[in-house]
Chain A
Amino acid sequence: MDWFYIQGILMLAGINLIAVLGLSLLTGFTGLFSFGHAGFMAIGAYLGALMTVSPTTSPAGLGLPFAVGVIAGGAGAGIVSYFIGRITLNLKGDYFCIATLGFGEAIRLILNNVQLFGGSRGWPGVPYKSTLPAIIIVDILAVIFLANLVRSRHGRNMIAVREEELAAQIAGVNVFKYKMIALVVSAVYAGVAGVFFGHYMTFIQPKMFSMTKSTELTIIVIFGGLGSISGSVLGALLLTALPEILRAFEIWRLVFYGAAVILIMISRPKGLMGGMELTPAGIRKARNERKARVLALKESRNGRNGEAGIG
């Protein structure tokens, strides 16, 4: 267990985390479940590679700096998600899920057929640019961006959409607009994650971005707890690191994933953090909520129910 090995795990976890944070905004805070976000990672990875691969290695490459690749990957994924959103965000829950599944697979299939990018055989020769410091910096920025967004009226509106869409509409929330914002932001995050992924593996292949990958991302968000950023961070770390450490049991990794998902759903769907944040403010809030509930329980037992709470 040397530093190089640990570093690899941290980097993969950090890359996954970027995508998970974005998906957390869409699923955890806005309540929309997507089974196609690996598609946005794929768009990011391929656009990023398009920018950075040297023209001498591949006719499609432009040999531009890594930063350009990151911006292109993120922006590209965001733009595609906007058009997908226009078609799908008006649909009811189940239909939206199937639509994301469909789009995720469609992106993979299309990439399989683009011979310029290597088709299904993949695209080697992507320069190695994803260093641990770079990933950590992006992760920190991603968390801050997300946390600040969530703790604002915009974030609260998204949470309202998750809680009670109809009441949110009546409360003046432009539900479609906020769903779209959540989708685009989550796609940009996934795109950036894809760029970093490609520049870590130095080789990208459409089958790396399959439905299984999309589902893994959603599972991590649920495992960490919907509506909890710290839950997503912990979830990404644990669920990326553990299987790597248990590398000997590689083929059983997904078996455990599947079983774990079912178990979480039937026993503790609120996930690891249960919607709570592992920050000073979050802990204070959870404590206040508990105090208030205990107080309310005591009051109702002492027969203060005559004051039913109206006048």
Chain B
Amino acid sequence: MADILEISRLTKRFGGLAAVNDVSFSVPEGGILGLIGPNGAGKTTIFNLITGVYSLTEGDVRFKGKSLNGLPPFKIADMGITRTFQNIRLFKNLTVFENVLTACHLGASYSILDSVLRLPKFRKEEKALVEKAEKLLSIMGLTERRDLVANNLPYGMQRRLEIVRALALDPKLLLLDEPAAGMNPDETEQLMRLIVRIRDEFKLSVLVIEHHMDLIMGICERIVVLNFGIKLAEGCAADIAKDPKVIEAYLGVTEEV
């Protein structure tokens, strides 16, 4: 199975500081890869580099073999990569339905002229977009709340909505940035099942940043550990848990008295 995302020698420097330094790893197609590390390790920076929000200093990011270097975020989204955010960035004043419908826009190609004159092409494609949005909401169990303003959703549902909105773009690779932040163990378990279900039903690959170890250990087939912008270790859950470098990064070293 080919790798859907290849990150090679990725480096990002802000002035003199290397937030990400010579990092390489790959996400296998259909796999779930975890990206962990202490705060400030460079995890979200890597997401920003992949999605084109930051420009990389050195190295390359290849998606399905094609380099993403220098592409603007909207083109990268069009190619099939979407993400969620650490601090939820929903369209807060829009309803649940509108959030998802807006994100469906890539599924249509009618022009402004078509919209303004309400031509048949507009009517047909717009109807398809509405149907797609409704279907997504129903698959993910949000139909009951479709008219609720996103800002008024309970926290857990806001997270779910953000994931649904990402799915509206028909991604092949989904980047989740701390999706379990602020959740109790029960909710985290529900989220874990949801992520696996999404991967299976929508046939996509997942790269997830997380601090909740139960989620990482539970669903990630491979894990990459980062600290101070450098890759510390990579492997399956069991190996990572035993790796002394990882333990040191998270827990520190015991001083010999």
Q: A residues within 8 Å of B by Cβ?
A: 145, 148-149, 151-157, 159-160, 163-164, 166-167, 169-175, 181, 275, 285, 288-289, 291-293, 296, 300, 305, 308-311
Contacts and interface: CB of A to CB of B under 8 A. Distances in A.
A155 B95 CA distance: 15
Interface in B174-196: 183-184, 186-187, 189-191, 193-194
Given A172-B106, A173-B105, A296-B152, A310 B190 contact: yes
Given A163-B94, A166-B89, A296-B152, A153 B77 contact: no
B46 interface: no
Contact of B74 (A173, A296, A309): A173
Interface in B73-127: 73-74, 77-78, 82-83, 85, 89-95, 98, 101-106, 108, 110, 112, 115-118, 122, 126
A292 B83 CA distance: 28
Interface of B is mostly: helix
Given A154-B112, A309-B157, 11 more contacts: A157-B102, A159-B91, A163-B94, A164-B89, A169-B72, A174-B74, A291-B147, A296-B145, A308-B183, A308-B184, A310-B156
25 contacts: A148-B117, A153-B102, A153-B108, A154-B115, A156-B102, A156-B105, A159-B102, A164-B91, A166-B89, A169-B74, A171-B82, A172-B103, A172-B105, A172-B169, A292-B147, A292-B148, A296-B154, A300-B154, A308-B157, A309-B153, A309-B156, A309-B160, A310-B160, A310-B183, A310-B191
Contacts of B77: 169-172
A258 to B, nearest CB: 27
B202 interface: no
Contact of B102 (A166, A171, A300, A311): A171
Interface in B232-251: none
Contact size range, B: 35 or more
Contacts of A291: 147
B185 to A, nearest CB: 12
A153 B121 CA distance: 13
B145 A292 contact: yes
A39 B102 CA distance: 33
Contacts of B148: 289, 292-293, 296
The SS class assigned to the A binding surface is helix
B51 interface: yes
Contact of B105 (A153, A167, A296, A300): A153
B43 interface: no
A275 B151 CA distance: 15
Given A149-B115, A153-B110, A172-B105, A167 B85 contact: yes
Given A164-B91, A167-B91, A310-B190, A175 B156 contact: no
A300 B89 CA distance: 23
A135 B155 CA distance: 49
Contact of B129 (A153, A164, A170, A296): A153
A164 B194 CA distance: 26
Contacts of A154: 112, 115
Contacts of B112: 149, 152, 154, 181
